[in-house]
Amino acid sequence: MTYKEFKYQLLKELEERFPSGTSITIQEIPHNNNHTEEALTILEPGLNISPTIYLESYFRQLKKEVPISSIIAQIYSYYQEHRSTQSIDTSFFTCFENIRPRIVYKLVHQEKNKELLKEVPWIPYLDLAIVFYCLLSKSPTENASVLIRNEHLCYWNVSVEDLLSLAQKNTPFLLSSCCDSLAELLLPILEQLPVQEQTDTKNTFASASMVPMYVLTNQQRFLGACCILYDDVLKEIAERLDSDLYILPSSIHEVILMPVTVTESVPALSQMVCDINQSEVSAEEILSDHIYYYHRSTDSITM
């Protein structure tokens, strides 16, 4: 079955499961780094909000010979589990006073998002861009957010500088930072490996302990690379480690910090970031191929 046939069959069978008047559509959803993905939207009568169901993973199942009836059952079950029981009051978003305490920021790559940046307010930062969104709940992993666009500024009558001022206060408060040892984060995964693999990996950790790495993100571990912008976060970590810091952009969700006292080769670190981006990070989650340097003396970041 081709992807086109899969989509046709999916729409046909789902329409039979929902009441008359339900809108079931498939459309391209834009993602970070100019990446798009097709997604299914189901709007039942009386509702104006629906979970976004991306189709790529389900089509991969089909290619692995999972029956389409099983795939449709999965999609239907996912929808029922995540569907909203009431519509969103869209007038809420038109009042800036409602939005003011919910404005937060995130970091994306400038060049990879140059088309998006034509449509949204943003501020340049190194090779990155600070963009803004409205956090509708403290569960951003459930897509409970709205990207702020240029037209929003027009009817709110606010500037990008206003957004930045608010986001600088709101983001650390709503999405507080956390910094953990990379080795400690990997230990729970390590315990699930076979005994021999555990031993081999523990030996790797032991040899790597001379090059300590720390993961900086937010408590939700979602769009947390922007924690490098929070007041005093890098300063406190650098003081605790008694060192300036290399910042490795792991993804849009987190960065890896290393004390420069480990005297790692900067070209080698840059190459490591590039290699990981190419092999381990999905295209829409790449932040940058460059590493950054945090200076304790000036509390600043350079490339």
pLDDT of residue 210: 53
Determine the Cα–Cα distance for residues 223 and 226; give it in Å rounded to an integer. 7
Structure tokens at 94: 């038109």
- pLDDT tens for the chain, 303 residues long, are 899 999 999 999 999 999 999 999 999 988 899 888 999 999 999 888 888 899 999 999 999 999 999 999 999 999 999 888 888 777 778 889 989 999 999 999 999 999 999 999 999 999 999 999 998 775 544 557 889 999 999 989 999 999 999 999 999 999 999 998 887 655 554 455 565 554 555 454 444 445 688 999 999 999 999 999 999 999 999 999 999 999 999 999 999 999 998 766 788 888 889 988 888 898 899 999 999 999 999 999 998
Structure tokens at 194: 């076979």
Structure tokens at 84: 């909203």
- Asked if 191 and 198 count as a contact pair (C-beta separation under 8 A), the reply is yes
Structure tokens at 236: 């406190």
Determine the Cα–Cα distance for residues 50 and 101; give it in Å rounded to an integer. 24
In this structure, is the dihedral angle defined by the CA atoms of residues 81, 85, 89 and 92, taken in order, positive or negative?
negative
pLDDT of residue 140: 46
Determine the Cα–Cα distance for residues 223 and 143; give it in Å rounded to an integer. 12
Determine the Cα–Cα distance for residues 232 and 179; give it in Å rounded to an integer. 13
pLDDT of residue 263: 66
Q: List all residues 6 or more positions away from 256 whose beta carbon is below 8 Å from its beta carbon.
A: 182, 213, 214, 215, 216, 247, 248, 250
Amino acid code (one letter) for 20: S
Strands (E), 165-213: 177-181
